[in-house]
Every structure is written in C-alpha cells, then in structure tokens.
Amino acid sequence: MTERIHALVLRARAASPDEHEALGKDLNALLLQLPKQAEREPAVALLRGYMENGALEGLGTSSLPADIAATQAALDLGYPIALEVSPERLEALREWEGTEESAGIPWMAIMVVSFVAFITQVACMTLADVGALRTHQLAMEAFGGRPRIGEPSWLDVFRRFMEEWAYPVMGLQFAAGVFNFLFTVTLGRLRGGMKGASYLYLGLAAFGGTVALVQLPYLTWLGLGTLASATGAYVSARLLKSKSR
C-alpha cells in the first residue's frame, strides 16, 4: 500500500485541475486506511517522510487536505510516530474537525421539527382546555347549575393536579428545547458536541414521554401535547446522532 500511496502522490502533483480532486480523494482514502492495511514499519517511515518534507501540502480534496489525513493516520498508528506529530499539525486537525462538525449540524431541520412539535402541543393544550370547560359545564347542568357537594375522589384530585401542572410542564419542555437548540448551534461544532446535544434531546424526550404516559389515560389531549414535544425532541436527537462522529 505504501507504494500505491507514493505513486498516487506523484500523480496528484502532476495532475491537471480537473483530475486533482478525484486523485486527492483516492489519496485520502489510502492514507486513512494505512494504519489498518499496511505493515507498520513501512507505514511509519512513509508518514514520517511526508510530515518532515511537506510532500502532501496542497494535495487532498477541498473538504479534507491530505496533510490532515496523514496526521490522523499517524495518530491511529500510535507510538512512536504519534509522539512525533507537531502541535501545529494537531491544532490543524482539531480545527478541521471543528469545521466539519459545525458544517454538519442539522440546525434547520431541528428548528423545523421543534416548531412543528411546539405548535402541535399548543393545539392539543387548547383542545384540552376546551374539553375541560365542556366537562365542567356538563357537570354543572347535571347538578342543576350548582357545584357538586362532597369529597372529591382521588381521581378528581389527580386530574386537577395534572391540569394545574400542565402549563408548567409545557413551559419546562419549551425552555429545555430552547436551551438544547442553543447548545447545539454554539457548542455542537466542538468535538463530541453533537453527541452531547443528542443526549440532551434524548433526556428531554424521555422526560416528556414519561409524563405523557401518566397523562394519557386521564387527560388525553394534554398527554398528546406532551407526547408531541417528546417526539420532536427524539427526532432531533436522531438527526444529531446521524451526523455525530
């Protein structure tokens, strides 16, 4: 494989602009496969020579310079060549990883999903309020316009508790969603940032799903609204997971 890489470097150096990108892509692929498919000593010697004489400068693709691919290959090979990687090369690798991570953040898709989930939750909450008002009116009519006298059942107390906490739960989900979105667009570009953001969205989805399971048997519309928000959080987590390293 080392011979193929060396020959490809020579070809890429002499290639026309039209061929440069395609050859650079092949070169990057071979460099990244080097630690797994080549004998260790020849691979170390090849990478050491390239890093010392700058033979890969200007090669690779517009999205992945060959120097970056060689640095990653050297790190994957481990001791001793990994210790020979200069701080400048390590910094260039980190900057490239940050740029790639930032470019891959599906922030627009997450924003659309979150907006649809929020609108759905608001609609469900509105229907829940209308349903609760209608239930109250029917109860008043059944008792001749007078409120029912007597101790409320545990189900009545539980329903009232869930109704009182419906809007705080919705507000908490909304605030957590805003925080997660801001975390994603600001820190998601860092190494591991998108994975961390996906965990935050998964946590929000788990919270909403748990609350919805409690609400659904007794307050259907409230439960559906909470579930809509949880579904939006889960979809956002999956979008981030598919893009994270």
CA distance 117 to 114: 5
Q: Is the model's pLDDT at 193 over the cut of 90?
A: no
For residue range 117-167, what is the model confidence (pLDDT) as tens digits?
A: 999 999 988 887 654 544 444 444 444 455 555 566 777 787 788 888 888
**Residue 148 has what pLDDT?**
52
The residue ranking higher by pLDDT, 145 or 40, is: 40
The residue ranking higher by pLDDT, 239 or 7, is: 239
For residue range 58-67, what is the model confidence (pLDDT) as tens digits?
A: 777 777 888 8
For residue range 75-112, what is the model confidence (pLDDT) as tens digits?
A: 887 877 777 787 787 787 777 666 655 556 788 899 99
Q: What is the mean pLDDT of residues 50-65?
A: 78
The residue ranking higher by pLDDT, 116 or 8, is: 116
Domain residue spans of the chain: 2-103, 107-243
User: At residue 79, what is the residue type?
Assistant: Y
Q: Is the model's pLDDT at 179 over the cut of 90?
A: yes
